[in-house]
Structure 1
Amino acid sequence: MMAKAAPPDDSKTAVDQAIDNAKKIVKEGEIRFEAKDLKAARDKIVASLKNLGGYVGEENETNNGDNNRREYDLKIRVPSKNFDRFLDALSSNADHIDAKNIRVKDVTTEFIDISTQLKNKQLLENRYLELLKRATKTSDLLEIEDKLESIRTDIETTQGQLNYLNSQVAFSSLDITFYNIPTAERADEQFTTKFKNAISEGWGILKTLFFDTIMLWPIIFIGFAGVWVYRSRKKKRGNEKE
């Protein structure tokens, strides 16, 4: 019968090849802003990316024919060490930022777990290769080769997971959306904004007057009571004279 391969020895794994346990951080996010000149904004983004070692992974442009409003969507990747520099430059050049959402994730534990799995599978592969060299029976050879094929498939899958994680750590991702507002639409928005602000401010003044009046109710009550008493006495004196 074919000899069974011994399970990987954790101590040997640590000795044979050390696991990289440096802190692994993944950064990603989205930013949306207004730009008066879309072409100039795009050229600045691409130039900044090139200077910092980044690139545009995907680019989309949409044009709303009803109001002639254009919008760009860029999915970019930039080296993680330059992510903050790129984001600061992008934010400072934006005319008006609508939204910015940045997420930071620590994947150190996940990285170490996958690396450990990969190294243990590689050790197991080496043990089966040693068994393959010593095997003499055809049945043993076939069984070992079948097991090796399964192990190698697992190794490829695990290596792919590790490569993807390394890529996420090395390059940060940012989804950039920027748009322009046509002059006519901008004027309508300004009028609508001013109208809403006027209504809001007017309502605020009305509420203030209402609550101020409620606070003064004792004085108002005393005033009304005084007027009523004065008129009652005046009326009584008039009746007595008659």
Structure 2
Amino acid sequence: MKAYFLFFTTVLLVSASCKNKGDDKIHSVTIGDVTAEKPKVMDVSMAPPAEKNDDEIYTSVETQPEFVGDSEADADVKVDESEINTRKTQKGDVAQKIIKEGDISFETADVKATRQQIIASLKKLKGYIQSDQETDDGSYGRKEYQLDIKIPAANFDTFLGSVSSTATKIDSKNISIRDVTTEYIDTKTRLDNKLVLEKRYLELLKRASKISEMLEIENKLAGIRADIESNQGQLNYLNKQVAYSSLTIKFYTERPSQVETSVGFGYKIMKALESGLSLLQELFFGILSLWPYLIVIFALYLFIKRWRKRRKLAKAA
């Protein structure tokens, strides 16, 4: 009886032990499952990136650390190249930028009348004169004008036709066209990026807490602003060149009216006096160029004069 009791007790203990192991195993699996699920919940690196606004090409302000030096600040404002490329692509709809330039040279019957006609046409087409030069060579009977003109690009061909109609003979005509669309887009893109970069550094400047940080940011801002001014100046120049075309006009007459009408008695006397004065000047300068010979001749004259004087005195004695 005692043996049966010990056997039964042993069986119960073994059964209880097995049950506890089974519970522990189940509990362990449950914990293991939870542990396995933990990385999926807490792994931030697998989370999708936050969305950005279309206009932003830099990281958001809220995620920026305090300014601590060149390396972190430069990394802080690093440009997103993919977004810059997108901005460039979006600028593909910029109107074509064309610079038109030209020059024309011709003969005309009356230079004064031609000049007045050109100026009248220029005012009508909203152009202006950059420079005005006049050359009058009466001795060869030629009078010439040169005008450097700026004319709105849309009116260039009309104005050129008006100028050509005043010519009796066109010596030369040259027109050049230059496409600066790519240069314009590149400059505009650099300017936009510099403006965004300037804004970014201004935000960093507001959050800077040390004098050294402020000075370093101001130094970077100075360089950025210099680039902005340079790019803006280039854009302004291109815009002006595109908006207004350039034309250089040379026109002349071989027989000006003022020379033809002045050929009379008084004119002939004036020309004769001018010719005589010119000959007199040539004679004077010709004699002046012989000064070494004149000195020798004068010295011989003095020597001979003294010799004759001494000879006369000797005979008288």
Q: What TM-score, normalized to structure 1?
A: 0.71
Q: Counterpart of 2:206? A: 133
Cα distance in 1 for partners of 2:113, 2:200 equals 60
Q: Counterpart of 1:4? A: 73
Paired-residue identity, %? 54
Task: Check if 1:75 corresponds to 2:148.
Answer: yes
Structure with the larger strand share: 1
Task: Check if 1:59 corresponds to 2:132.
Answer: yes
Q: Counterpart of 2:122? A: 49
Alignment of 1:1-242 (within 5 A): 1-2=68-69, 3-5=72-74, 6-9=77-80, 11=83, 19=91, 21-182=94-255
Higher relative contact order (CA 8 A, sep 6+): 1
Cα distance in 1 for partners of 2:182, 2:84 equals 21
CA deviation map 1:95-137 (0-9, x unaligned): 2111000001111111111111111111111111111111111
CA RMSD of aligned residues (A): 2.1
CA deviation map 1:12-50 (0-9, x unaligned): 6966xx646211111001000111111111111111111
> Does structure 2 conserve the Cα–Cα contact (< 8 Å) formed by 1:54 and 1:76?
yes
Cα distance in 1 for partners of 2:86, 2:239 equals 20
> Does structure 2 conserve the Cα–Cα contact (< 8 Å) formed by 1:13 and 1:120?
no
Q: Which amino acid aligns with 2:226?
A: T
Find the residue that maps to 2:139 and give its secondary structure. Answer: coil
Q: Which amino acid aligns with 1:4?
A: A
| CA positional deviation for 1:8 | 3.3
Q: Which amino acid aligns with 1:168?
A: Q
Q: Count residues with an aligned counterpart.
A: 183
Q: Which runs of 5+ in 1 are unaligned?
A: 184-242
Q: What TM-score, normalized to structure 2?
A: 0.54
Cα distance in 2 for partners of 1:13, 1:130 equals 24
Shift in CA distance, 46/14, structure 1 to aligned 2, threshold 3 Å: farther
Q: Which runs of 5+ in 2 are unaligned?
A: 1-67, 257-317
| CA positional deviation for 1:92 | 1.9
Cα distance in 2 for partners of 1:180, 1:8 equals 63
> Does structure 2 conserve the Cα–Cα contact (< 8 Å) formed by 1:68 and 1:182?
yes
Find the residue that maps to 2:102 and give its secondary structure. Answer: strand
